[in-house]
Amino acid sequence: MRVLVIDVGNTSTGIGLFSDGDVVDASHIKGGIRMNPALCVEALRKAAAYGVDGAVLGSVVPQINQRWQNLIQRDFGIETLSVNASLPMNITIDYPRPEHIGADRLADACGGVERYGAPLVVADFGTALTFDVIMPDNRYIGGVIAPGLPLMTDYLCERTALLPHVDLKGECPQVGRSTEEAMRIGAEVGYRGIVREIMTYLRNSMQVDFKLVATGGYAAWALRGMDMKFVIDEELTLFGLGCIFEKVEKVEGVKRVEG
């Protein structure tokens, strides 16, 4: 099965092809379809170069979902499955208001369980830093949300007169010898502390030895040098979207190719 997988976030959009249990031809477009529609179309066509059997959309920007559905219908003649908590999944959802769980978090949980098993915590380093908790019996029970790296650094730049915008790349110096270096240390080392403290809190409060899997654009940079076991899985969200599509096909027998 060859499935277009689209992860629409607040600052970027991931597009790829889920095929034979893996994600290939993945692209990440800053600004997504609102700012770079031509790049999004190009990424879709690249992923679908050898044909597709379906498409699945995980979006946290609902006002543009119809635009994606229309685009995929127009270019490929297929319906798009939009991810929400009511769909069949390889996890059970134990959450007071499941409709409030973001599609990206559902995909992270499903993809994480499929690849790494449970118990598991998936930390997604995007616009927000989210931690999703899956118990040993594959129950999704909720998580933790903290400000993401871009929110923190952009806020400092926007709300102060003298602090600049910082490019979150490069080595972490021992001490900041410039304003930029000082802010970079605060971001990188501070984020290791956030992850360490939240993981310690979750493990101790629940008495569960959760595995940690990290994904998202800033995961590798933020966690390098971390004195805690973890796995980086850069395409976990796209993989999880593909897993959800396969589960829906298996349970419901839905055929999403016209004709």
Consecutive 10-residue runs of the chain (259 residues): their mean pLDDT?
94 94 94 93 94 95 95 94 96 96 97 97 91 98 87 64 65 74 78 91 96 91 86 96 95 52
Class of domain 2-82: alpha beta
Class of domain 92-238: alpha beta
Same fold yes or no, 2-82 and 92-238 = yes
From the candidates 104, 108, 124, 132, give the one annotated as an active-site residue.
Answer: 104
Give the integer Cα–Cα distance in Å for 245 and 237: 13
Give the integer Cα–Cα distance in Å for 228 and 12: 28
Calculate the CA dihedral of residues 181, 150, 37, 81 and round it to 10 degrees.
140
Return the pLDDT at 252.
78
Q: Where are the domains of the chain?
A: 2-82, 92-238
Return the pLDDT at 84.
96
Q: Burial of 5 by CB count in 10 Å (0-12 exposed, 13-18 middle, 19+ buried)?
A: buried
Q: Please answer whether residues 148 and 129 qualify as being in contact, where contact means their C-beta atoms are separated by less than 8 angstroms.
A: yes
Return the pLDDT at 188.
79
Give the integer Cα–Cα distance in Å for 145 and 157: 22
Active-site residue 104, yes or no?
yes
